[in-house]
Amino acid sequence: MSKQIVSTNAAPAAIGPYSQAVRAGDTVYLSGQIALDPDSGVLVDGGFEAQVVRALENLKAVAEAAGGSLSDCVKLTLYLTDLDRFPVANELMQRYFAQPYPARATIGVSSLPRGAEFEVEAVMVLS
């Protein structure tokens, strides 16, 4: 099976040796997105809520570059440096995802790249 690399300027460039997303057949694996501004590459100001929104906007941009949308996501993984903020992440995610919701895991971590407080990755299936 061949794979297609997905890239867009509407989301931050990869900050390491990886692709923004990889499509293999009808499945697209979207790399983790943190709250980097796509133009400056700098972590956004405004605290946790602003970081969740920016990270989800970045994920949305990559999903669209792959030819899909967030509604095509079948699996999400969230990484939070403070699990007490889990309810806030849930509330904000409902702005981006509607029922039926994708499967999801939420993982508490001690740190994330660039001092981010939130990261999201996804698997998307296109028909």
Dihedral of alpha carbons 79, 116, 85, 53, sign: negative
d(CA 52, CA 34) in angstroms, rounded, equals 8
CB 85 within 8 A of CB 93: no
Q: What is the pLDDT of residue 37?
A: 97
- CATH number of the structural domain spanning residue 111: 3.30.1330.40
Q: Per-10-residue mean pLDDT for the chain, 127 residues long? A: 93 94 97 97 97 98 98 98 97 96 98 97 96
Tokens of 83: 């699990």
pTM recorded for the entire structure: 0.96
Which pLDDT belongs to residue 75?
Answer: 98
Q: How far apart are CA 110 and CA 28, in angstroms?
A: 28
What span, in angstroms and rounded, lies between the C-alpha atoms of 116 and 5?
25
Structure confidence at residue 70 (pLDDT): 98
Supply the pLDDT for residue 40: 95
Q: How many domains does the chain have?
A: 1
pLDDT given for residue 127 in this prediction: 83
In this predicted structure, what is the pLDDT of residue 10? 97
Please give the Cα distance from 105 to 112 (Å, whole number). 16
pLDDT at residue 17, rounded to an integer: 95
Is-cis flag, bond preceding 100, omega within 30? yes
Residue span of the structural domain in which 68 resides: 3-125
Type of residue numbered 107: I
